[in-house]
Structure 1
């Protein structure tokens, strides 16, 4: 398998192919090893011997144009329905996590799950990438193929870290609502800076969840940066759901590298929990499905002097005719299991739309 990555930035009408001419992507032991490097990064939720941090060497870089006419025929798949065993397993995982929240051990936990879709024939991953580019103009869309990690398709709304000319940007993205009825018109057609929709209301649980993530990011960045600015939270669309988003801009303080910032931020409370290290250790044993490269991060690092690293959300692993979809949701003490399950189902629709009959968000 030739190691390569295809990616399309939000609202762009072009995508980039990054290909390594020979050998395998470099395996790195820690995020600090990314300082001063160039390539396409593929990082797991937690670095292990089985799931390493990878850096794909950019031996060939090509840019191609995507157009609104790009279309890929939908592929037949089985009628979706939650597997009873998966539903019971999620309920058990929720109970374990929720009990820890009620006991005060954690302020927040993000519970993830996996669902498998069997296709009628082998999946053409590149065509699904092009389809995702058409369906999700607001998102960062990427396809990664490498022997060490397999084949992954992402359409993610969450930026981990981006920067050019010494100025850096990250976001806090949390809180989720499904768009139904009149609200489905929000930000259609898609615009880079959609106006606020005063008809969209957020409950206390979602606002608390978003504030936890935003406060954590602000507190984490403050000792590593200068000129840190923080925006007000605003509503943004990602496919058939909306989130609350806070933007941060900053410059690295003297002596700080990008690896230090990544190590401090990842995994954020939007994909893990608080306290961070304790939550990550707990979730690796509490979740019945390993996360692998879901809720890690990926993207170009210093390619053409630009860095765009995104959290690996709304994604699936592709293996022959099998697509493993991943999604998660933030749990607080007042979380309700049925509502959290439905949130993961809504998030999985992002990839289900790509592999089956679709309803676009355009």
Structure 2
């Protein structure tokens, strides 16, 4: 990765073009500049007119945004996805030219994307546009970090490109993002809500419970699908806007593949890396919010002292500790969880901090952590095998790692729960629950209904 000093756009482009050695060679150039404040949702909406795929990420609690437009480079892996993705990413950074005097998280070369929950589960037509692992380096990107705004251009240059002509084109594109664009935000209405095999799903809960009672597993997480049909094509910008307004303390994301868009508002961080500082979180154990302050406190108290939820939470804490201890030093985990409140739900929450050892990357940690017991179960292989054999859906990217990483050794991934795959005027929503030896299928079914609320509420349901 070559860093270049502050110069005019034409000069930066001209120098990068001259580095291309062969007639058919290509050079990835990344240029980041600081810009005036620009609404990330406006940036996302303007891109709709460009007919390019869009990516969106925000950590609402940090007021941190990355919005990507287009596809300068795509990293796709179907086999050995962690190793292949990391190797392609490292090779790309080694060969790229980067102009980024700021080096704040989410600037420079950034790739956004995610992975399938279980690549061994056969892919259905529902998820045909999403690979086992797929990351996009956008052509144009807006980053909001610590109250400042940054605009990044990632461009693949050819030897016969003309610097002045390219500079003019890029400046026109940048100006487009600042232009006014009216937006139709008329309400979306769910005309039809189709429960996919609810009785069969409850049967699978009973079957999982029997496996656990035979000591073949301690916990198995089973997910189900609800299919929605709308009165019109869903506007993704409006969906994101509503999620931002209603789902505080969440990671809100959108990953667009042509007419399909995977969208969610997940409270569950998998891992965050800043240089060598690591933060992971255990989020397991769920209850609804109360209608009054007194009722809310009573539910919180009940959640905190509920044996099933505490057991479920402890599974996750122990797994995360065991998974990352060989990759980190200075590992710190509190003795007890706290209550983590969201708009519709509340969870048991435990933060985990550590220092990443030299020679390891965020991909090493993701590989160890995914899937957590909150999404797969425990033991991992036994629960995953049961899910492969018995779950009634293709999870696709539901419950899997989604997030971003940059050329400055920063990155953050969340677990893609509270999510749905939007396809024009239809959508599939997903929710799951952890089955243990005393699970009641009806109670688990009601828990999934609660977990569907965040997405239903913004999709006219």
TM-score calculated relative to the size of structure 2: 0.69
What is the correspondence of 1:70-81 to structure 2 with a 5 Å cutoff?
72-78=185-191
Q: What's the offset of the Cα at 1:270?
A: 0.7
Q: What's the offset of the Cα at 1:112?
A: 0.4
Post-superposition CA distance 1:131-170 (Å, at most 9, x none): 11111121100111025x9311110000011111210110
Q: What's the offset of the Cα at 1:281?
A: 2.2
| Aligned equivalents of 1:179, 1:304: Cα separation in 2 | 39
What is the correspondence of 1:1-362 to structure 2 with a 5 Å cutoff?
2-13=52-63, 15-22=65-72, 24-27=74-77, 29=79, 30-35=81-86, 37=90, 38-47=110-119, 50=123, 51-63=131-143, 72-78=185-191, 83=195, 86-147=197-258, 150-183=260-293, 201-231=304-334, 232-302=336-406, 305-356=409-460
Q: Secondary structure at the match of 1:259?
A: helix
Query: Structure 1's 146 and 79: CA in aligned 2 closer, same or farther, altered over 3 A?
Result: closer
| Aligned equivalents of 1:64, 1:44: Cα separation in 2 | 28
Which range is displaced more, 131-140 or 22-31?
Answer: 22-31
Q: Secondary structure at the match of 2:417?
A: coil
Matched residue, 1:191: none
Query: Structure 1's 316 and 74: CA in aligned 2 closer, same or farther, altered over 3 A?
Result: same
| Aligned equivalents of 1:86, 1:180: Cα separation in 2 | 30
Q: Secondary structure at the match of 1:126?
A: helix
Structure 2: 5+ residue stretches without partners? 1-50, 91-109, 124-130, 148-182
Q: What's the offset of the Cα at 1:79?
A: 6.3
Please tell me whether the aligned partners of residues 235 and 242 of structure 1 are also in contact (alpha carbons under 8 angstroms). yes
| Aligned equivalents of 2:380, 2:312: Cα separation in 1 | 15
Bigger relative contact order (CA 8 A; separation at least 6): 1
Q: Which has the larger Rg?
A: 2
Q: Secondary structure at the match of 1:344?
A: helix
Q: What's the offset of the Cα at 1:199?
A: 7.5
Q: What's the offset of the Cα at 1:320?
A: 1.4
Q: Secondary structure at the match of 1:324?
A: strand
| Aligned equivalents of 2:184, 2:293: Cα separation in 1 | 26
State how many pairs are aligned. Answer: 343
Please tell me whether the aligned partners of residues 176 and 244 of structure 1 are also in contact (alpha carbons under 8 angstroms). yes
Q: What's the offset of the Cα at 1:13?
A: 4.1
Q: What's the offset of the Cα at 1:3?
A: 3.2
| Aligned equivalents of 2:293, 2:118: Cα separation in 1 | 36
| Aligned equivalents of 1:210, 1:235: Cα separation in 2 | 12
TM-score calculated relative to the size of structure 1: 0.86
Q: Secondary structure at the match of 2:305?
A: coil
Q: Secondary structure at the match of 1:105?
A: coil
Query: Structure 1's 72 and 239: CA in aligned 2 closer, same or farther, altered over 3 A?
Result: farther
More helix by share: 2
Structure 1: 5+ residue stretches without partners? 188-196, 358-362
Q: Secondary structure at the match of 1:181?
A: coil
| Aligned equivalents of 2:77, 2:85: Cα separation in 1 | 11
Q: What's the offset of the Cα at 1:282?
A: 1.8
Q: Secondary structure at the match of 1:333?
A: coil
Please tell me whether the aligned partners of residues 39 and 58 of structure 1 are also in contact (alpha carbons under 8 angstroms). yes
| Aligned equivalents of 1:347, 1:199: Cα separation in 2 | 18
Please tell me whether the aligned partners of residues 284 and 290 of structure 1 are also in contact (alpha carbons under 8 angstroms). no
